[in-house]
Amino acid sequence: MSSEISTTRDRILNAAWTLLESNPGVAARMSDIAKAAGVSRQALYLHFPNRTELFIAVTRHQDAVFGVQDMLEASRAAATGEARLQAFITAWGNYIPRIFGVAKTLLVMRETDADAAQAWDERMADMREGCAAAVAALARDGALVMEEREATDLLWTLLSIPTWEHLTRLCGWPQELYMSEITRLARLGLCGQA
């Protein structure tokens, strides 16, 4: 019974996921998602109040499937500030390509939809926490050459989705180059040396 519910719900979530991933930023229509899920358009409204909430649910679903929390948790184990920064950049930087399509969609919707904006901002606030923790660890080591607050902002910006998109999609950088250059820039900017 409830397994029936979650099966249909999951089919919808996965169909939406696939569509958003294959066409980042261009929010699929409800009828497209319904067709892809093999379900009637109205069935979507049985499981999600509206389009925005459906997309937000896809985001949460992704985070659950991928286990973001655990992933970012790992960086907390690092001993030194430098190691922690490295671990955080590695974890987040390699997470971005996996969520980009859906994230980009929410990012675009953010501008015109208050609910999308809130969901996105919360997610980014969580990410910023990770930045702040890494920066705090650097500060504790005396490795930071700037204000903690500003250093966090800088790292947050370097690791933002639009920055990743710009370098990998617009400039065509392979993921490895993105990782190495962002790491180098973060070390330079925050610690004054690579």
In the complex, which residues of this chain contact DNA (CB under 7 A)?
1-2, 4-5, 7-8, 27, 29-31, 38-43, 45-47, 49-52
Instruction: Select from DNA, a second copy, none the partner in contact with residue 94, using the beta carbon and a kind-dependent cut-off of 5 to 8 Å.
Output: none
**Based on CB atoms, which residue is closest to a second copy, 12 or 190?**
190
Cα gap 194→188, rounded to integer Å:
5
> Which parts of this chain interact with a second copy (CB under 8 A)?
25-26, 104, 108, 111-112, 150, 153-154, 156-157, 160, 162-163, 166-167, 171, 173, 177, 181, 184-185, 188-189
For the CA atoms of 129, 90, 24, 27, what is the dihedral angle to 10 degrees?
-30
**Based on CB atoms, which residue is closest to a second copy, 78 or 179?**
179
* Token reading at 157: 């910006």
CB of 10 to DNA, least distance (A): 10
**Based on CB atoms, which residue is closest to DNA, 12 or 191?**
12
Cα gap 171→3, rounded to integer Å:
45
Instruction: Select from a second copy, DNA, none the partner in contact with residue 29, using the beta carbon and a kind-dependent cut-off of 5 to 8 Å.
Output: DNA
Distances (CA, A) of 33 to 62, 141, 154, 171, 176: 17, 50, 37, 31, 33
CB of 142 to DNA, least distance (A): 52
Please, what sign has the CA dihedral across residues 178, 124, 18, 63? Answer: positive
Cα gap 70→68, rounded to integer Å:
5
